[in-house]
A and B are shown apart, each in its own frame.
Chain A
Amino acid sequence: KQEVTQIPAALSVPEGENLVLNCSFTDSAIYNLQWFRQDPGKGLTSLLLIQSSQREQTSGRLNASLDKSSGRSTLYIAASQPGDSATYLCAVYTGNQFYFGTGTSLTVIP
């Protein structure tokens, strides 16, 4: 069964710092991987989607990479801002099921 792990569970950084969030999965047979952002009391916002054939995707200050063979993905946030404070989740889709990580809670300190 696919297991998705996110480390660290919580991260606190000063504003302006570049940071990396990690996501690992146990079964490399995935269709794609997504990164989401969740703000307190709200639903999820889709940030980036990487197909299994892709190595990375970029959107603004965000860059997500995928190494399917090693079962890892990273979300890179450049020049972090207090508004980036949220919980970030990754999810893999295997072709018939979605599996979510437990998230990394990010706090960017002004």
Chain B
Amino acid sequence: DAGVIQSPRHEVTEMGQEVTLRCKPISGHDYLFWYRQTMMRGLELLIYFNNNVPIDDSGMPEDRFSAKMPNASFSTLKIQPSEPRDSAVYFCASSLGLFGGYTFGSGTRLTVV
């Protein structure tokens, strides 16, 4: 297995534009997590899914953020419209069981100018 695959690795966009981050979890994992990491706030859990169903989205900062998991092998995190303060590294992770061994993707570094 190639691990958790995130795309793109880097994204630079202008304020106000829509940004879509993508994640392919490890096959067979039933949990998928989206995290955001910044220097100021550290690592934050945004949302997580179990069997494609969102379980806890209390970490999603604003309505501008939305996440979907249409099937077991794909998830998206969308920001619309993007703002400079959204600049961060966004990680996706998957696991078998809520506390199974987590596998993280390499992250997407988002810069909003």
Contacts and interface: CB of A to CB of B under 8 A. Distances in A.
B38 to A, nearest CB: 11
A93 B43 CA distance: 14
Interface residues on B, range: 10 to 19
B42 A103 contact: yes
A42 B104 contact: yes
A100 B43 contact: yes
Interface centre among B43, B91, B93, B102 (most CB of A within 10 A): B43
Interface string B32-58: 000000000011110000000000101
A83 interface: no
A101 B105 CA distance: 20
A49 interface: yes
Interface residues of A, number: 20
B104 A44 contact: yes
Interface string A38-80: 0001111110010000000000000000000000000000000
Interface of B: 4, 42-45, 56, 58-59, 91, 93, 99, 101-107
